[in-house]
Structure 1
Amino acid sequence: MTELMLKYFRKKQQEVQTEKIYDTQCPFCSMQCKMQLIEQSIVSRKQYKTVGIDNPTTHGRVCVKGLNAYQHAFHKERLKYPMLKVNGEFVRITWEQALEQIKDQFTRIQDEDGLNALAVYGSASITNEEAYLLGKFARVALKTKYIDYNGRLCMSAAASAASQTFGMDRGLTNSLAEIPYTRCIILAGTNIAECQPTIMPYFEKAKENGAFIIAIDPRETSTTKLADLHLKVKPGTDAALANGLLKVIIEENYMDEQFIQERANGFDEVAEYVRSIKLAEIEEITGVSINQIRKAAITFGKEETGMIFTARGVEQQTDGAAAVRNFLNILVATGKLGKLHCGFGAITGQGNGQGAREHGQKADQLPGYRLIENEAHRTQIANVWGIHPEDLPGKGVSAYEMMEKIDEREITGMFLMCSNPVVSNPNAHFVKNALKKLKFLVAVDLFISETAKLADLILPTSSYLEDAGTMTNVEGRVTLREASCPCPGEVKHDWQIIVEIARVMGKEKYFSFSSAEEIFNELRLASRGGIADYYGITYERLRKEGGILWPCPELDHKGTTRLFETSFAHPDGKAVMVVVPNKSVVPKEEVCSEYPLYLTTGRVMSHYLTGVQTRRSPALAARNIESYMEIHPTTARKYQIVDHSLVKIESRRGSIIVRSKYTEEIRPDTIFVPFHWADSQNVNNLVGEELDPVCRMPGFKLSAVKVKPVNDVNI
């Protein structure tokens, strides 16, 4: 090394005055990649670098979102103080004033309109501790039955299907480590390459090892490019496609008859139904050829091992729960469950989509995946909480249905935590107008989101760098997110906010927590003996072991890597197969002369959910600065749409304006728009309010629309 180079490096070392390292986990998808943020103070400025940390799930991998997540945490628009709306403008107030406002307004609303006039809207991005505490807060501090969360719009179909088929729901029935060694994989409605990039090496390794990969998607994506066979299904017809696969498997005798006889109920009815339908009918419904259906079914059926993964493409339908159940029928019929390198995976969308639905945020659930209408479950949780079972409220309604209750003025106040329903819900114009009817809306957030703009009071919350707690990843692996970065300004953690509101509401004795670990220890007790049993998991164990797969019922239990090895979770130990009709019980929109195109929605790699965080990360926002519409060139020419031009998309609910993007990788009868943008680019303005009758999932993935170039319309 030359003397000149040595002088240069000495100078650089001297410029770095301090260096701090913060251990954390990515705040975005369900892979929950462990990371370190390195902060260097150089002269008068700070610079940051993110590096991955080795862990059982992602082995140090981090995607572009995780690498740049710190940018939103340090953004200048970050909320740092409570903000009260006065004469239409937000003004800074003290925490004491904010808490007094909440106490006065919540008390007034419940005095005037009843206990259930208050609603709580939660999130699948908060920690297990905060999800647990929010459910307890709604039912003990507020005594309201109305609580649900944004995970209803993400994981409810897969969760319902797994619970009904298996008797329990965990993201993966086995661990990610088994994927590389399975022989056939079906990826149904999942674009993991863009949504969960750090999971891709598992599938790439499987491909290297000779696995046959089948992708089901209306679009060609980075994920379908990995596949050996791409079934370019018509949007909304996944349940029918699964029936076609089942028909071939059964009629060509690729079932596992011993497995069916010993471990399944309902097979005969399913077999009778699929034998009664014709593959030509399935071809017409789905747009997938008979040859492709047969090839997919025979390949999956004949291989000794196989796995099926579903995500929003299948699940965000008005028959999403049924469609997933039909893919589970395939697994049961072929006996590919509870065995090495065989199983089901619901690719969770949000960071804590798994844990957030296990411990009490859903309208019908109590901690440990217990049911609020089950008397034994109510008694057990009431005992943990120190209340009488009869004091627990009953079952509420789903997230979107709470918006309908607001519109009907049955709900007149809301506590909203870390969610943005004005953008994320279907029929978004309706949701926005409904929220304006509330007497009092409290929003807890990092930023003034599109929904927080409507609030009467906004409370500043901590980011992933500041808020420690446990998260449960896509596998069902509980991990501990360390967080040592100080909170800016007067920011508080979600759990601290809940505790302080409970205190001013006179419920302090039920919420006397001083740390996230204290809350987790109560969660452990509340979950004990439940389906999602965390009792054997402690912070100490998580620090030593890097993560534990639930159920983990005792302190010396290693966690459960593979579910259903000997029995399913139903009382008789058997899985339940069910007939799934080709068409949804809730009628889906059909294209017509006025609305001739199918609209489907989804994600892009650089953004997350409603974009509140990622649109404030310059490195991510620069990759996709605006929304867009993917359209086949043939279709575009038919409607006089020029590539990269502004286009108006209109459904029966409303319209948006986005920029066109030609691609031959989408079906000519379908357009695609991502859902990360708001206002005039909010694609959920176009989505209908119809809900799945089982899980209350909206039909985000299918709307009938028409398109026009903007120069032909008034905007």
Structure 2
Amino acid sequence: MCQPGESKLETAMHVPEGIDTQCPFCSVQCKMTVHAGEETLAGVVRAVHRAEGKPNAASQGRLCVKGMNAHQHALHAERLLRPLMRKAGRLVPVTWKEALDAVADSFSSTLSAQGPDAIGIYGGGSLTNETAYLLGKFARVAVGTRYIDYNGRFCMSAAASASSKVFGIDRGLTCRLADIPLAQCIVLAGTNIAECQPTLMPYFHQAKENGAYIIVIDPRATPTAAIADLHVQIRPGTDATLANAMMKVMVDEGLVNEDFIRKRTNGYEQLLTHLNRMDFSESAARCGIEPEVIRQAARAFGTVDTGIVFTARGVEQHTDGHMAVRAFMNLVLATGKIGREGCGYGTITGQGNGQGGREHGQKADQLPGYRSIENKADRDYVASVWGIKPNRLPGKGVSAYEMMELVHQGEIQTLFVMGSNPVVSSPNARMVEEGLKKLNLLVVADMFLTETAQMADIVLPVTSHLENTGTMTNLEGRVLLREAARSAPGEARDDWRILCQIAVRLDKVGYFTYKDAEHIFEELRLASRGGLADYYGITYTRLRHEGGVYWPCPSPDEAGTDVMFRESFALPHQKGVFTVVESRSAGEHTSEDYPLVLTNGRVLAHYLTGVQTRRSSSLTAREIENFVEIHPRTAQRWHIRDGEWVEITSPRGSFTVRSRIKPHIREDTIFVPMHWGGVQNVNRATRPDLDPFCRMPGFKTAAVRIRPLHLSTVANSADPNEWSWL
């Protein structure tokens, strides 16, 4: 059923024949060509579209099922085509002038009455580099607020902050994807690449053909674990303990690279002192695995010449995610497996532009080029590029979840959300919903009427990946250009244009006079020049000609940096830093009332909160509803039958999903995907506790209980609208 301001899109939503574009989903950013055609069914002629992979350095022309069907949501009948404004309790279509005037008038009133910090800006990791850059500038120059952050805080923040401390710079992969087949041992910790980044799997198959030993660390036997030589089925929240135990084995058995440690690292002696105090058997017991499994993993990584450690959300989405990543980085430094072919560390970025999105100003503490908003030289430089005095730049704000707390407390009274759906993606989702209801104004810019947009006062329709030109930075730090392939449907506008049009109404026209996305990128190049994430040497002309360029790239005459840290690290002393990491569980303590550990993640057919993938009939057909995976013995203990509805409850709240009894998960753990909202939203139960270093919520380890839920309970629900998906 169409929402207000929408219509059934027929020929207007077709695409020209053979358009070239780029997948909007995961961090691989596969290139593709979408072909248009027609078919006749029961005498009715209808448009059909088919996507095929286009050769590129990352995916080598491959597409996964999400990429093959990415065009479906862009062509969907529920696309928002006109601005909407809430009148008499309903969202109704209005003109762009009325919508933008209302946004600007409300912003101006709030600025006058409460000041700039009463306004929050909330971005997304799927925005282009140009929009991410402009959103940061909009917050700090047009509005003047320090409160800006984005949903990427929930993705790579632990690995990003760890990389900055250990290596001096945060780029998703310190090596190339092409290095994977050269590695003799690969550690995949908390990452399910087979479902989250499927087009990368051939790299790992090739590595196995070359003799590589693959270690997968995961509490579930995922499709990725199926390729492993060793599956370490760890208890959630004990990743740091496992990495410490592996490190202890490598030290005790002489499997470290003493020459590399002496020449290129600091802090090793302190780490040795810590490891000497460790009880290895106790560590293995805390992880819930046999000691010999840890020894086997440590020997496999320590005895070979080349190797790569990858981490992802399974390690990072914890209250000790920052330190857990640093514990795995210790393994890389101790064996000297970095700065050369077939070696390195990498975080498997989740969102399409999670890397670029955090480099250019969407994060609360950062300015373009990965500069620090608290560093005077950085502030002075960016202020000079923007044509303002440094004292006009606000200071550091707070993380994404903390912004929601400030909304709930009434400190933030106006919230502008672009390209994100925090009602579903935030932990403690009930509190987030309550907070958004308290706002004086909620503005959402999106393609669809998301769960967050349904609560908005003003909704602004934006263009999709098929219609919006801009650059994206993939997981290996390669900047790619995605050019618009079709005209915007209806009255949808590019997100960056919307920001400029609001800024003009706030009397900041002189700072937002861009004619196109390339014009913004030219300013981004200059703003990033000399920073850690230096894009100055990258131009649209180069991207069109070369297909992609690695950053850092300080000069147009340079090729860009593919393998990081060949000679030195990016810290003042030019050495990598070992970290003493305490061995303790980051999980919430289970109890008689909450005896199980809830962890979460992704499935192959869906992406983030499912806003886009559930508008694809092909993808929705694969997974139409949320579910919980539970071990057969655990299901028997709690009287749960396969396929029945269950209620899962934590101290924060409850949600309801269908059960799937699977032997490939630990008995003390249940798993629920993260792609559904409403009563199926796993984040109603997840933990809001934050990592002290990176402010990552502890998504992966909530103590919960589970019980069967019969349909008679549904019939008596106090809110029947929540069950409309049944």
TM range (shorter): over 0.9
**Does residue 38 of structure 1 match 2:35?**
yes
What is the alpha-carbon distance in structure 1 between the residues aligned to residue 511 and residue 322 of structure 2?
36
Is the Cα contact below 8 Å between 2:15 and 2:486 reproduced in 1? no
- Counterpart for residue 631 of structure 1: 630
- Counterpart for residue 718 of structure 2: none
What is the alpha-carbon distance in structure 2 between the residues aligned to residue 212 and residue 589 of structure 1?
33
Indicate how the Cα distance of structure 1 residues 599 and 416 shifts in structure 2: closer, same or farther if over 3 A, else same.
Answer: same
Alignment partner of 1:354: what SS? helix
- Counterpart for residue 688 of structure 1: 687
**Does residue 64 of structure 1 match 2:61?**
no
Q: Following superposition of structure 1 onto structure 2, how do residues 462-501 of structure 1 map, counting pairs within 5 Å?
A: 462-501=463-502
Give, in angstroms, the shift of residue 412 of structure 1. Answer: 0.4
- Counterpart for residue 397 of structure 2: 396
Is the Cα contact below 8 Å between 1:18 and 1:41 reproduced in 2? no
Q: Deviations over 1:84-108 (max 9, x none)?
A: 0111111111111111101110011
Indicate how the Cα distance of structure 1 residues 19 and 85 shifts in structure 2: closer, same or farther if over 3 A, else same.
Answer: closer
Is the Cα contact below 8 Å between 2:188 and 2:310 reproduced in 1? yes
Give, in angstroms, the shift of residue 18 of structure 1. Answer: 10
Amino acid at match of 2:161: S
Alignment partner of 1:557: what SS? coil
Give, in angstroms, the shift of residue 583 of structure 1. Answer: 1.6
Is the Cα contact below 8 Å between 1:251 and 1:275 reproduced in 2? no
- Counterpart for residue 272 of structure 2: 271
Q: Deviations over 1:398-429 (max 9, x none)?
A: 00000111111111001100100000000000
Give, in angstroms, the shift of residue 267 of structure 1. Answer: 0.8
Is the Cα contact below 8 Å between 2:16 and 2:486 reproduced in 1? no
Alignment partner of 2:67: what SS? helix
Alignment partner of 1:436: what SS? helix
Alignment partner of 1:230: what SS? strand
Q: Deviations over 1:205-243 (max 9, x none)?
A: 001110000000000010001000000000010000001
- Counterpart for residue 614 of structure 1: 613
Give, in angstroms, the shift of residue 713 of structure 1. Answer: 8.7
What is the alpha-carbon distance in structure 1 between the residues aligned to residue 49 and residue 580 of structure 2?
54
Gaps in structure 1 of 5+ consecutive residues = 1-16
**Does residue 708 of structure 1 match 2:707?**
yes
Q: Following superposition of structure 1 onto structure 2, how do residues 513-524 of structure 1 map, counting pairs within 5 Å?
A: 513-524=514-525
- Counterpart for residue 672 of structure 2: 673
What is the alpha-carbon distance in structure 2 between the residues aligned to residue 569 and residue 696 of structure 1?
23
Give, in angstroms, the shift of residue 45 of structure 1. Answer: 3.1
Is the Cα contact below 8 Å between 2:359 and 2:370 reproduced in 1? yes
Indicate how the Cα distance of structure 1 residues 329 and 713 shifts in structure 2: closer, same or farther if over 3 A, else same.
Answer: farther
Amino acid at match of 2:442: L
What is the alpha-carbon distance in structure 1 between the residues aligned to residue 700 and residue 313 of structure 2?
8
What is the alpha-carbon distance in structure 2 between the residues aligned to residue 672 and residue 440 of structure 1?
36
Indicate how the Cα distance of structure 1 residues 177 and 278 shifts in structure 2: closer, same or farther if over 3 A, else same.
Answer: same
Alignment partner of 2:405: what SS? helix
- Counterpart for residue 460 of structure 2: 459
Q: Following superposition of structure 1 onto structure 2, how do residues 320-469 of structure 1 map, counting pairs within 5 Å?
A: 320-469=321-470
- Counterpart for residue 237 of structure 2: 236
- Counterpart for residue 25 of structure 2: 28
What is the alpha-carbon distance in structure 2 between the residues aligned to residue 20 and residue 379 of structure 1?
49
Q: Following superposition of structure 1 onto structure 2, how do residues 54-453 of structure 1 map, counting pairs within 5 Å?
A: 54-453=55-454
Is the Cα contact below 8 Å between 1:372 and 1:378 reproduced in 2? yes
Give, in angstroms, the shift of residue 40 of structure 1. Answer: 2.6
Give, in angstroms, the shift of residue 578 of structure 1. Answer: 1.2
What is the alpha-carbon distance in structure 1 between the residues aligned to residue 182 and residue 260 of structure 2?
21
- Counterpart for residue 548 of structure 1: 549
Give, in angstroms, the shift of residue 42 of structure 1. Answer: 6.2
What is the alpha-carbon distance in structure 1 between the residues aligned to residue 233 and residue 266 of structure 2?
32
Q: Following superposition of structure 1 onto structure 2, how do residues 572-591 of structure 1 map, counting pairs within 5 Å?
A: 572-583=573-584, 588-591=587-590
Amino acid at match of 1:495: W
Amino acid at match of 1:653: R
Give, in angstroms, the shift of residue 588 of structure 1. Answer: 3.5
What is the alpha-carbon distance in structure 2 between the residues aligned to residue 225 and residue 550 of structure 1?
34
Is the Cα contact below 8 Å between 2:543 and 2:549 reproduced in 1? yes
Identity %: 56
Alignment partner of 1:20: what SS? coil
Is the Cα contact below 8 Å between 1:19 and 1:40 reproduced in 2? no
CA RMSD of aligned residues (A): 1.2
Q: Deviations over 1:322-371 (max 9, x none)?
A: 00000001101111111221101100000000000000000000000000
- Counterpart for residue 566 of structure 2: 565
Q: Deviations over 1:223-267 (max 9, x none)?
A: 001000000000010000001000001111111111111111111
Is the Cα contact below 8 Å between 2:425 and 2:683 reproduced in 1? yes
Is the Cα contact below 8 Å between 1:128 and 1:470 reproduced in 2? yes
Gaps in structure 2 of 5+ consecutive residues = 1-13, 715-726
- Taking structure 1 as the reference length, the TM-score comes to 0.96
Is the Cα contact below 8 Å between 1:65 and 1:607 reproduced in 2? yes
- Counterpart for residue 3 of structure 2: none
What is the alpha-carbon distance in structure 1 between the residues aligned to residue 263 and residue 91 of structure 2?
63
Q: Deviations over 1:650-684 (max 9, x none)?
A: 11111111111011100011100001001100000
Amino acid at match of 1:598: V
Give, in angstroms, the shift of residue 21 of structure 1. Answer: 2.2
What is the alpha-carbon distance in structure 2 between the residues aligned to residue 608 and residue 217 of structure 1?
20
Is the Cα contact below 8 Å between 1:81 and 1:459 reproduced in 2? yes
Indicate how the Cα distance of structure 1 residues 574 and 434 shifts in structure 2: closer, same or farther if over 3 A, else same.
Answer: same
Is the Cα contact below 8 Å between 1:317 and 1:700 reproduced in 2? yes
The size of the alignment, in residue pairs, is 697
What is the alpha-carbon distance in structure 1 between the residues aligned to residue 99 and residue 83 of structure 2?
7
Give, in angstroms, the shift of residue 19 of structure 1. Answer: 5.5
What is the alpha-carbon distance in structure 1 between the residues aligned to residue 710 and residue 484 of structure 2?
51
**Does residue 647 of structure 1 match 2:646?**
yes
Is the Cα contact below 8 Å between 2:369 and 2:534 reproduced in 1? yes
What is the alpha-carbon distance in structure 2 between the residues aligned to residue 20 and residue 111 of structure 1?
51
Give, in angstroms, the shift of residue 714 of structure 1. Answer: 4.1
Is the Cα contact below 8 Å between 2:688 and 2:699 reproduced in 1? no
Is the Cα contact below 8 Å between 1:22 and 1:483 reproduced in 2? no
